[in-house]
Structure 1
Amino acid sequence: MPTNGWDTHMHVTDPSYPEAADAEYTPGQHNLSDALSFESTIGINSLVLIQPSIYGNDNTLLLNALTKLGTRHGRGVVGFDTDATSFETLQAWHQLGVRGVRLNIKSNEVNLTEAELQERVTRYAKIIQPLDWVLELYIGMEDIPKLEPVVADLGVRLSIAHFGAPTLPPIGNRTLPLDPYTVAGFQSLVNLLKAGKTYIKFSGAYRFDKDPQYRGIEGIARELLKFAGDRIIFASDWPHTRFEGLDIHPFVEKCLDWTDAAGVTEKVFSRNAHELWDIPLDK
C-alpha cells in the first residue's frame, strides 16, 4: 500500500439513528472507530466519508465523524436538498472537509428519464461549482449515456462510484477475459473518462461480480487502467452495506495487482484522491 493512501468511499452507520422513509435496509453499528480499525488492516488511515442512502439528506452522523477525524485525514460527501439548503450551510460544511454532494440513483432504483437525469445533475452542479465540489454519482452503467450530452458543460468534476455499476453477464455465460465494450454503457464511460473531468472508483465490485476472483470486473479494470490512470481512485466501500461481513482484502489485493501491472498504484491509491478531493499532497 502506498504511503498517504486514501480510501475514497466508505460509510458510518448507526442502527439506532432514524432512517429516511425510503431506506432499503437497516445497517449495523459502524462508527468512526470501527472504520479506522478496519483501515489499519489495509494500511490506510485517511478516509472520504460518503453519505449512505438510508439517511437521505440528514448528514448528522457523517458530519460528526468528519469533525472528529479532521481535515488532515478526512473528507466528506453529503446529500442535500437544493431547495432547502443555504449556501452558507454548504460553506460551513466545506470548512469541516466536505468536498462533494452525492446523487444516489442506483441504491433505491430510481428511474429517471434522460431529461430528468440531466436536469438533476445540472441543478446540483450549478450550486456546488463555486465551492469546487465534486458531483458524486452512483448510477447504473446503462444510464451513463444519458450523462454524455451535459457533462462538458457542468463546470464540475464527476466521481462515478463502483466501476460505474455495470451489468455483467452471469458467471455461467461469460467468455473470459470479458470484453468490456460488450457491457451496456461502457463506451460512454470511456468517453467521459477520456474527456478529462470524470473520475471512476475501483470499489464495490462484489455488488456486480459474483465471481470471488473478480474475473468479470477485471476486464473493465484493466481496460480503464490503459488510459485513465490519472482519474481512477480506490475505495473499499466499507462496511459493505447489504453485504456486511464480507472480507474485502482479496479485492484490495486484486486492485494492487492490477495497478502494479499498469504502473499506477501510487496514483490510484493516493495521488488521484489528493487531486480530486482537494487534499495537500503532504497529507
Structure 2
Amino acid sequence: MPIDAWDSHMHVTDPEYPLASDAAYVPSLHNLTDVRNFEQTIGIQNTVFIQPSIYGDDNSCLLDALRAAGTSHGRGVVAINPDMLNITELQEWHKLGVRGVRLNLKSNDATYTANSLSNMLQKYADAIRGFKWVLELYIGMEAMPVLEKIVPNLGVRVSIAHFGAPTLPDPKNTTYPLDPYKITGFPSLVNLTLAGATWVKFSAPYRFDNDTQFRGVESIARELLKVAGDRCIFASDWPHTRYEGLDIKPFVEAVLDWTDEANLTKEVFSLNAKELWDIDQRRDSQDPLKCD
C-alpha cells in the first residue's frame, strides 16, 4: 500500500443517531474507532466519510466522526437539500473537511428523465460551486450517456461511485475477459473521465458483480486505468452495508495488482484522491489518527 493512501468511500454508523423515515435498514455500530481498526488491516490511515442513505440529510454522525478524525486524515461528503441551504452551516462544514455532497439515485431505485436529472444536478452544482466541492453520484451506468451531456455544464467536479454501477452479464454464461465497451453506458463513462471533470471510484464490486474473481469489473478497471488513470481512485465501501462481514482484502489486492501493472498505484490510492478531495500535499502524513 502506498504511503499516505486514502480510502475514498466508507461510512460511519451508530444506532444512537436518528434514522431517516425511509431508512432501508438499521445500522450496527461502526464508529471512528472501528474505522481505524479496519483501515489498519489494509494499511490506510486516511478516510473520506460518505453520508449513508439511512440518515437522509442529517449529517450529525458523519460530522462528529470528521471532527474527531481531523482534517489531516479526514474528508467528508454530506447529503443536503439544495432548496434549503444554510450557507453559514456549509462554511462550518467546509472547515471540518467536508468537500462534497452525495446524491444517491441507485440504492432507492429513483426514477428520473433526462430533463429532471439535469435540473436536479444543476441545483446541487449551484449549491456547492462556490465551495469547490465535489458532486458525488451513485447512479447506474445506463445513465452515463445522459450524464455525458449534463456534466460539462455543471461547472463542478463529479465523482462516480462503485465503477459506475454497471449491469454485468451472468458469469455462468460469460466468456472472459469482457469487452467493457459492450457494457451499456461504459463508452460515455470513458468520455466523461477524458473530459477531465469526472473521477471514478474502484469500489464495491460485490454490489453488481457476481464473479468472485472480479473479472467483470476487472475489464472496466483496466480500461479506465489505460485511458484515464489520473481519474481513478480507490475506495473500500466499508462497512459494506447490507453485506456486513464481507472480506474486502481480496478486492484490495486485486486493485493493487491492476494498478501495479499499469504503474499507477500511487496515483489511484493517493495522488488522485488528494487532487479530488482538496488535500494539502505538503501535510505531515505521520500525524497519528485521532479517535473518538
Normalised to the residue count of structure 1, the TM-score between the two structures is 0.98
Q: Deviations over 1:157-198 (max 9, x none)?
A: 000000000010011121200111111111110110111110
What secondary structure, in the 3-state scheme, does the structure 2 residue paired with 1:233 have?
strand
Q: CA–CA distance in 1 between the matches of 2:118 and 2:62?
A: 27
Residue 259 of structure 2 is matched in structure 1 by: 259
Q: CA–CA distance in 2 between the matches of 1:110 and 1:53?
A: 13
Q: CA–CA distance in 1 between the matches of 2:259 and 2:282?
A: 22
Residue 147 of structure 2 is matched in structure 1 by: 147
Is 1:138 the equivalent of 2:138? yes
Q: Deviations over 1:55-98 (max 9, x none)?
A: 00000000000000000000000001112221111111000000
Q: CA–CA distance in 1 between the matches of 2:36 and 2:282?
A: 20
Residue 286 of structure 2 is matched in structure 1 by: none
Opposite residue 73 of structure 1, the aligned amino acid is H
Residue 213 of structure 1 is matched in structure 2 by: 213
Residue 287 of structure 2 is matched in structure 1 by: none
Residue 167 of structure 1 is matched in structure 2 by: 167
Residue 126 of structure 1 is matched in structure 2 by: 126
Residue 235 of structure 1 is matched in structure 2 by: 235
Opposite residue 169 of structure 2, the aligned amino acid is P
Q: CA–CA distance in 1 between the matches of 2:82 and 2:243?
A: 31
Deviation of 1:210 after TM superposition, in Å, equals: 1.5
Q: Deviations over 1:105-145 (max 9, x none)?
A: 00111111111111111111011011000000000001121
Opposite residue 264 of structure 2, the aligned amino acid is V
Q: CA–CA distance in 2 between the matches of 1:246 and 1:282?
A: 35
What secondary structure, in the 3-state scheme, does the structure 1 residue paired with 2:192 have?
helix
Residue 12 of structure 1 is matched in structure 2 by: 12
What secondary structure, in the 3-state scheme, does the structure 1 residue paired with 2:43 have?
coil
Residue 157 of structure 1 is matched in structure 2 by: 157
Residue 68 of structure 1 is matched in structure 2 by: 68
What secondary structure, in the 3-state scheme, does the structure 2 residue paired with 1:90 have?
helix
What secondary structure, in the 3-state scheme, does the structure 2 residue paired with 1:278 have?
coil
Q: CA–CA distance in 1 between the matches of 2:56 and 2:157?
A: 22
Q: CA–CA distance in 2 between the matches of 1:150 and 1:81?
A: 20
What secondary structure, in the 3-state scheme, does the structure 1 residue paired with 2:71 have?
coil
Q: CA–CA distance in 2 between the matches of 1:143 and 1:23?
A: 24
Q: CA–CA distance in 1 between the matches of 2:21 and 2:144?
A: 27
Deviation of 1:15 after TM superposition, in Å, equals: 2.6
Q: Which moved more, 1:272-281 or 1:84-93?
A: 84-93
Residue 203 of structure 1 is matched in structure 2 by: 203
Runs of 5+ consecutive residues of structure 1 not aligned to the other structure:
none
What secondary structure, in the 3-state scheme, does the structure 2 residue paired with 1:137 have?
strand
Opposite residue 35 of structure 1, the aligned amino acid is V
Residue 96 of structure 1 is matched in structure 2 by: 96
What secondary structure, in the 3-state scheme, does the structure 1 residue paired with 2:42 have?
coil
Residue 55 of structure 2 is matched in structure 1 by: 55
Deviation of 1:272 after TM superposition, in Å, equals: 0.4
Q: Which moved more, 1:43-52 or 1:172-181?
A: 172-181
Q: CA–CA distance in 2 between the matches of 1:260 and 1:180?
A: 20
List, as ranges, runs of 4+ consecutive aligned residues in structure 1 with deviation greater than 6 Å: none
Opposite residue 249 of structure 1, the aligned amino acid is K
Deviation of 1:282 after TM superposition, in Å, equals: 3.0
Residue 116 of structure 1 is matched in structure 2 by: 116
Q: CA–CA distance in 2 between the matches of 1:159 and 1:138?
A: 9
Deviation of 1:17 after TM superposition, in Å, equals: 2.5
Deviation of 1:25 after TM superposition, in Å, equals: 1.5
What secondary structure, in the 3-state scheme, does the structure 1 residue paired with 2:191 have?
helix
Opposite residue 19 of structure 1, the aligned amino acid is L
Opposite residue 6 of structure 1, the aligned amino acid is W
Runs of 5+ consecutive residues of structure 2 not aligned to the other structure:
284-292
Is 1:281 the equivalent of 2:281? yes
CA contact (8 A) 2:17 2:60 kept: no
Deviation of 1:256 after TM superposition, in Å, equals: 0.1
Matched pairs, number: 283
Q: Which moved more, 1:103-112 or 1:11-20?
A: 11-20
